[in-house]
Amino acid sequence: MARPARTRRKTAAPKRPRASSAPKRGASTPWTTIEEFLDTGEGDITLGAINHSSLRYTAVATDHHNMLVALVRGRGETLHQLLDRLEQALGPALEDQIYVDEINGP
């Protein structure tokens, strides 16, 4: 006697959305220029102390060739306020080559 042929049912796997159809995520911070600068890999942002001086809190943005923005945290200025100033200075530095350097002076 011959065995009956077996058939398998295909189960539908959940479809994954294509990369192009996936929604773009919005900015996750209030600092959209800083976030885009870091996401695109255009350069680096460093927060911290500069050891050879009395500058305890600084924010420095650089591209692969230049220092674009160098800010010193003012007395009583919060980190959030320092990042706000970095956000405001980074746009003109990237678009119009208007650089800010509070570390080295004029």
In contact, 90 and 76? CB cutoff 8 Å: no
Q: How does pLDDT run across 14-34, given as a tens digit for each residue?
A: 443 433 333 455 667 789 999
Measured between alpha carbons, how far is 70 from 60 in angstroms, rounded to an integer?
Answer: 4
Each residue of 28-85: pLDDT tens digit? 778 999 999 999 998 999 998 887 667 778 999 999 899 999 999 999 999 999 999 9
**pTM of the predicted model as reported, rounded to 2 decimal places:** 0.70
Query: What b/e string do you get for 49-68 counting C-beta neighbours within 10 Å, with b at 16 or more?
Result: eeeeeeeeebbbbeeeeebb
Strand order in the sheet with 43-48: 43-48, 58-63, 67-72, 100-101
According to DSSP, the β-strands at 67-72 and 58-63 are antiparallel
